[in-house]
Amino acid sequence: MKFTIAKLPGDGIGPEVVAQAVKVLEAIGKKYGHEFDFTFGITGAHAIDEVGEPYPESTHQICMDADAVLFGAIGDPKYDNDPKAKVRPEQGLLAMRKKLGLYANIRPINTFPSLIHKSPLRPDLVEGADFVVIRELTGGIYFGEPRGRSENGEKAYDTCVYTKEEVTRITKLGFEYARLRNKRMTVVDKANVLATSRLWRETVQGMVADYPDVEVDYMFVDNAAMQIIQWPKKFDVMLTENMFGDILSDEASVITGSLGLLPSASVGIHTSVFEPIHGSYPQAAGKDIANPIGTVLSAALLLELGLKLPAEAKAVRDAVDASLAADAVTEDIATDKAKAFKTSAVGDWLAEY
Amino acid sequence: MKFTIAKLPGDGIGPEVVAQAVKVLEAIGKKYGHEFDFTFGITGAHAIDEVGEPYPESTHQICMDADAVLFGAIGDPKYDNDPKAKVRPEQGLLAMRKKLGLYANIRPINTFPSLIHKSPLRPDLVEGADFVVIRELTGGIYFGEPRGRSENGEKAYDTCVYTKEEVTRITKLGFEYARLRNKRMTVVDKANVLATSRLWRETVQGMVADYPDVEVDYMFVDNAAMQIIQWPKKFDVMLTENMFGDILSDEASVITGSLGLLPSASVGIHTSVFEPIHGSYPQAAGKDIANPIGTVLSAALLLELGLKLPAEAKAVRDAVDASLAADAVTEDIATDKAKAFKTSAVGDWLAEY
Ligand SMILES: CC(C)[C@H](C(=O)O)[C@@H](O)C(=O)O
Ligand SMILES: CC(C)[C@H](C(=O)O)[C@@H](O)C(=O)O
């Protein structure tokens, strides 16, 4: 089969790690007889420098025309420290989400046996944790109107909005994901305070009868923030709104001790975007030391969810497991630091495998 | 000196634990020559049953007339499972916060050497962590208008609002608290997305020159949710808005392994409220097994912040440390379960000490 994959390396270590995922996808293409056509788009700080916008229309078109998007990371410290910067790289992220209709961010959370000693949690509590945070990504307080300042500047406001349709769409995805896993879904909200949360609960509750095989429970966000640390193994699918998902998915990632290895998928109306969760990590850029596994596992998700090629996805995951077992990894996680691989060497090893 | 302390035991284990704190305060009064006049008010599920409201006007008057309020906990499962309940115990909490103007919730986070093995984190990471979360408590998305549903019910919305005045008031308290500690303050927000967060940053930034001895840094909430787990020892004062504070203060409490022992203060315009953070824990109610230390340490905060009696506060904390050292504690934390103390016996021991 022939597929078009938009390649958006972005800033910092983005280009280096994306290059390794491309190698792996090309190896998969060769082995399974697929043709992957990679189309390149600029994003982030990089794109602001070139055309003044972090997610330019040309890049948007490339994404719209693609079967899936492989994304690196965006963000550059020179914009963080400039309060006068009118355009910021992160706005590119938000624009991309909105324009591609990326309504569901999927973050698998799991531990790796060889990295469990890196977890900040006691190993017995976290080892074997395996759940998925599904975060609504185009609604809520991120995009609700009105937002801004009162005329005299003394008052600021943001609006959190959800429609029943938005909640229904992502809840459906949550139920379907739960069916592929252990058939349990925890809906996280703040229904004791927020009107939007009450709409979420009501909408989910109206759908449970259609998925009798999935067990649903509700949890307040403050409680969820505690239980992720106390009993991470009890979760299966966690479904939540945009802002809570931002906080909880990052919290959940960190307990695994393998933040640099975790992938993500943002499922959209027009296409879907796959990216590592680690960010642009500018200090390491250009040094060929960044860990490419998060991006390679994002490519696996791309094969599985974006192109519906589960066998190919499994082959990529097997390669990653083998590289971890063989200590064919970058210095950040290598057991024997002296024999640590460079970023590009890990990519070669995985592609070869 | 003579002081009036409003006593609001509330639901569940509230009455039992508050009774122990009262014993301790009475012992302090005897030793230091103060007279504490305790005035009783009904709240929570209890108050709904009696007068139909969780924070009735009579209780409000009792609080308004008091030098400080000692509060137990509210919440009852019979309301949690009743979707048709019009009045919920938690609304009493929100009404109390609003009517008493409790704008700052202060949550000291610290570990106890004898309980460090209960922390879900690796001991070396968390041992000695000692910081304070200061949460704005009467603004933001908890109270902002408009909030509710569209006419056809298909859309729900909540509004997050902050005024410069509200931010200034709590930031001042944050700076002053930091001065009493290690002179560092981390302001947590989501300024890359929210207009309200940008007002917070701008307001704080406008005040730093008045507190040149305090070092200020800013952190996005998703990042803070990670760093609390990764490097809890790096924080001193963490200042944040209402919703983020709800999530982060609970997350921070759980890493200590001593959730049942942590106190809180809610500083108000009219008076201040002191309560343990553990909640009503209905399963244990009436069994004389609940751990009273969170409430006793809340009484210490009451002495310190509410009545400006720091020596008396220290005496209470010393008693608690001694009871922990002597294993004169309830079964949840007793080393020798067979010799565990009852709730009331811990209160007697502490008062005696
Ligand atoms: C950069 C920021 C706007 C973004 C978000 O909050 O969504 C980031 O934290 C993320 O989670 O992808
Ligand atoms: C019960 C609820 C409304 C309350 C809050 O969110 O403020 C609670 O979680 C708390 O933190 O005291």
The pLDDT confidence band at residue B79, using thresholds 50, 70 and 90, is confident
Among residues of chain A, what percentage have pLDDT more than 90? 94
In terms of DSSP bridges, do strands B102-110 and B35-40 run parallel, antiparallel, or are they unpaired?
A: unpaired
Distance set, CA A348 to CA A345, A352, B94, B178 (Å): 5, 6, 58, 51
DSSP at B260: G
| A26: three-class secondary structure by DSSP | helix
Mean pLDDT, range A236-241, rounded to an integer: 98
Instruction: Please name every residue paired with A185 in a beta bridge, in sequence order, or none if there are none.
Output: A216, A237
Find residues 161-200 of chain A whose CB sits inside 8 Å of chain B.
161-165, 190, 192-196, 198-199
pLDDT given at position A81: 64
The two most distant CA atoms of chain A are separated, in Å, by 64
What strands lie across the sheet with B155-163, from one edge to the other? A148-149, A155-163, B155-163, B148-149
Instruction: Tell me whether residue B107 is annotated as binding.
Output: yes
3-state helix, strand, coil in chain B (%, to 5): 50, 20, 30
Interface touch A154/B147, C-beta < 8 Å:
no
Instruction: Please name every residue paired with A212 in a beta bridge, in sequence order, or none if there are none.
Output: none
Residue B80 has pLDDT above 80, yes or no: no
Q: What is the mean pLDDT of chain A?
A: 96
The pLDDT confidence band at residue B81, using thresholds 50, 70 and 90, is low
Distance set, CA B80 to CA B57, B88, B156 (Å): 24, 8, 22
The CATH 3.40.718.10 portion of chain A extends over 1-100+270-353, 102-268
Mean pLDDT, range A158-166, rounded to an integer: 98
Query: What is the third-level CATH fold of B1-100+271-353?
Result: Isopropylmalate Dehydrogenase (3.40.718)
Token couple for A152: 């005299």
Residue B142 has pLDDT above 90, yes or no: yes
Whole-model pTM?
A: 0.97
The CATH 3.40.718.10 portion of chain B extends over 1-100+271-353, 103-259
CB atoms within 10 A of CB A313: 21
Query: If we measure between CA atoms, which residue out of A303, A273, A276, A274 comes closest to residue A291?
Result: A276
Residue B23 has pLDDT above 80, yes or no: yes
Contacts of B21 (CB under 8 A, 6+ apart): B70, B292, B295, B296, B298, B299, B347
Q: Is residue B294 within 8 Å of residue B107, measured between CB atoms?
A: no
Query: Tokens 């055309």 map to which residue?
Result: A51
Q: Is residue B167 within 8 Å of residue B148, measured between CB atoms?
A: no
CB atoms within 10 A of CB A38: 15
Q: Is residue B39 within 8 Å of residue B66, measured between CB atoms?
A: yes
Query: What is the third-level CATH fold of A102-268?
Result: Isopropylmalate Dehydrogenase (3.40.718)
pLDDT given at position B77: 83
pLDDT tens-place string over residues B42-65: 999 989 999 999 999 999 999 999
Distance set, CA A296 to CA A284, B288, B321 (Å): 18, 56, 51
Chain A CB contacts of B246 under 8 Å are 190, 221-222
- Class of A1-100+270-353 in CATH: alpha beta
Residue B84 has pLDDT above 90, yes or no: no
Where do the H-state alpha helices sit in chain B?
14-32, 44-51, 57-64, 77-80, 89-99, 123-126, 164-180, 195-207, 221-230, 242-255, 293-301, 310-325, 343-352
Token couple for A292: 């490419």
pLDDT tens-place string over residues A249-301: 999 999 999 999 999 999 999 999 999 999 999 999 999 999 999 999 999 99
Chain B CB contacts of A229 under 8 Å are 120-121, 229, 251, 254-255
What's the count of helices (H) and strands (E) in chain A, helices before strands? 13, 12
**CB of B222 closer than 6 angstroms to any ligand 1 atom:** yes
Element (H, E) at A199: helix A195-205
The pLDDT confidence band at residue A77, using thresholds 50, 70 and 90, is confident
3-state helix, strand, coil in chain A (%, to 5): 50, 20, 30
- Would residue B142 show up in a list of annotated catalytic residues for this protein? yes
Query: If we measure between CA atoms, which residue out of A285, A223, A273 comes closest to residue A107?
Result: A273
Instruction: Please name every residue paired with A186 in a beta bridge, in sequence order, or none if there are none.
Output: A217, A238
Q: How far from each other are the two terminal CA atoms of chain B, in whole angstroms?
A: 22
Angstrom distance (rounded) from CA B325 to CA B179: 30
pLDDT given at position A90: 86
CATH number of B103-259: 3.40.718.10
Token couple for A20: 């390794």
Concatenating the DSSP letter of every residue in B42-61 gives --HHHHHHHHS-SS-HHHHH
Angstrom distance (rounded) from CA B295 to CA B115: 17
Mean pLDDT, range B290-314, rounded to an integer: 98
- Residue having the nearest C-alpha atom to atom 3 of ligand 1: A90
Q: Does A155 touch chain B (CB under 8 A)?
A: yes
Mean pLDDT, range B58-87, rounded to an integer: 88
- Ligand 2 atom with the shortest distance to the CA of B97: 7
The pLDDT confidence band at residue A118, using thresholds 50, 70 and 90, is very high
Residues belonging to the binding site of A for substrate are 97, 107, 135, 222
Interface touch A164/B153, C-beta < 8 Å:
yes
**CB of B192 closer than 6 angstroms to any ligand 1 atom:** yes
